[in-house]
Amino acid sequence: MAKWLDNAVFYQIYPQSFCDSDGDGIGDILGIISKLDYIKDIGCNAIWLNPCFVSPFCDAGYDVEDYYTVAPRYGTNQDIKRLFNEVHKKKMHILLDLVPGHTSVEHKWFKESMKPEKNQFSDRYVWTDSVWEQPDGMNCIRGISQRDGCCAVNFFSTQPALNYGYYKPSKPWQMSVDDEAPKATLEAMKDVMRFWLKMGCDGFRVDMAASLVKNDVDGKGNIGLWKNVRAFLDKEFPNAVLVSEWGEPDKSLEAGFHMDFLLHFGSSRYNDLFRCEEPFFSKRGKGNAAEFVKKYSENYSKSGKKGLICIPSGNHDMDRLARKFDTDELKICFAFLLTMPGAPFIYYGDEIGMKYVEGLTSVEGGYGRTGSRSPMQWDNSANAGFSSASPEKLYIPLDPDENRPTAEENIKNDDSLLNEIRNLIKVRQSCKPLQNNGKIEFVYAKENCCPLAYIRSCENEKILVVINPSDKECSFPFKMWIGEMIYRIGEEITAKNGIITAAPQSAEIVKVL
pLDDT, tens only, 160-195: 999 999 999 999 999 999 999 999 999 999 999 999
pLDDT bracket for residue 127 (50, 70, 90): very high
pLDDT bracket for residue 1 (50, 70, 90): low
For CA atoms 324, 327, 329, 331, the dihedral sign is: positive
Buried b (16+ CB within 10 A) or exposed e, 62-89: bbbbebeebbebbbeeebbbbbbeebee
Question: Among the residues of 257-326, which ranges form H helices?
Answer: 271-274, 290-303
- Which residues, including other chains, have CB under 8 Å from residue 479's CB and lie 6 or more apart? 498
d(CA 491, CA 493): 7
pLDDT at 93: 98
pLDDT at 2: 87
pLDDT, tens only, 340-365: 999 999 999 999 999 999 999 999 99
- Which residues, including other chains, have CB under 8 Å from residue 322's CB and lie 6 or more apart? 330, 350, 353, 354, 355, 356
- Which residues, including other chains, have CB under 8 Å from residue 191's CB and lie 6 or more apart? none
d(CA 98, CA 32): 19
pLDDT, tens only, 318-347: 999 999 999 999 999 999 999 999 999 999
The SS3 assignment for 191 reads: helix
d(CA 153, CA 102): 8
The SS3 assignment for 137 reads: coil
- Stretch 121-138: mean pLDDT, rounded? 96
Residue-averaged pLDDT of the chain:
96
* Among 500, 493, 459, 461, CA closest to 478: 500
CA torsion, points 340, 341, 342, 344, in degrees to nearest 10? 20
The answer to whether residue 197 scores a pLDDT higher than 70 is: yes
pLDDT, tens only, 82-112: 999 999 999 999 999 999 999 999 999 999 9
Question: Among the residues of 324-413, which ranges form H helices?
Answer: 327-337, 407-412
pLDDT, tens only, 356-397: 999 999 999 999 999 999 999 999 999 999 999 999 999 999
pLDDT, tens only, 6-20: 999 999 999 999 999
Which contacts (CB < 8 Å, 24+ apart) does range 267-274 have?
Answer: 267/295, 268/292, 268/295, 268/296, 268/299, 269/294, 269/295, 269/296, 270/311, 273/333, 273/336, 274/321, 274/324, 274/325, 274/333
- Which residues, including other chains, have CB under 8 Å from residue 180's CB and lie 6 or more apart? none
Write out the DSSP string of 329-343. HHHHHHHHHTTSSS-
Output the CA–CA distances (angstroms, integers) from residue 398 to 165, 182, 314, 367, 425, in the order listed.
Answer: 43, 44, 19, 16, 28
pLDDT bracket for residue 265 (50, 70, 90): confident
pTM of the predicted model as reported, rounded to 2 decimal places? 0.97
% of the chain with per-residue pLDDT over 70: 99
pLDDT, tens only, 421-441: 999 999 999 999 999 999 999
- Stretch 119-135: mean pLDDT, rounded? 97
- Stretch 55-70: mean pLDDT, rounded? 98
At residue 364, φ and ψ (nearest 5 deg) are 50, 50
Lowest mean pLDDT among 155-164, 196-205, 262-271, 438-447: 262-271
- Candidate ranges 34-43, 244-253, 266-275, 295-304; pick with highest mean pLDDT: 34-43
d(CA 223, CA 181): 19
pLDDT, tens only, 210-220: 999 999 999 99
CA torsion, points 490, 491, 495, 496, in degrees to nearest 10? -140
CA torsion, points 308, 311, 314, 315, in degrees to nearest 10? 20
pLDDT at 47: 98
Burial of 461 (0-12, 13-18, 19+ CB in 10 A): middle
Q: Helix axis angle, 77-89 relative to 180-199, nearest 10°?
A: 60
pLDDT at 348: 98
d(CA 2, CA 479): 38
| Structural domains of the chain sorted by starting position, each given as residue range(s) with its CATH number in brackets | 3-101+181-352 (3.20.20.80), 102-163 (3.90.400.10), 439-512 (2.60.40.1180)
pLDDT, tens only, 63-78: 999 999 999 999 999 9
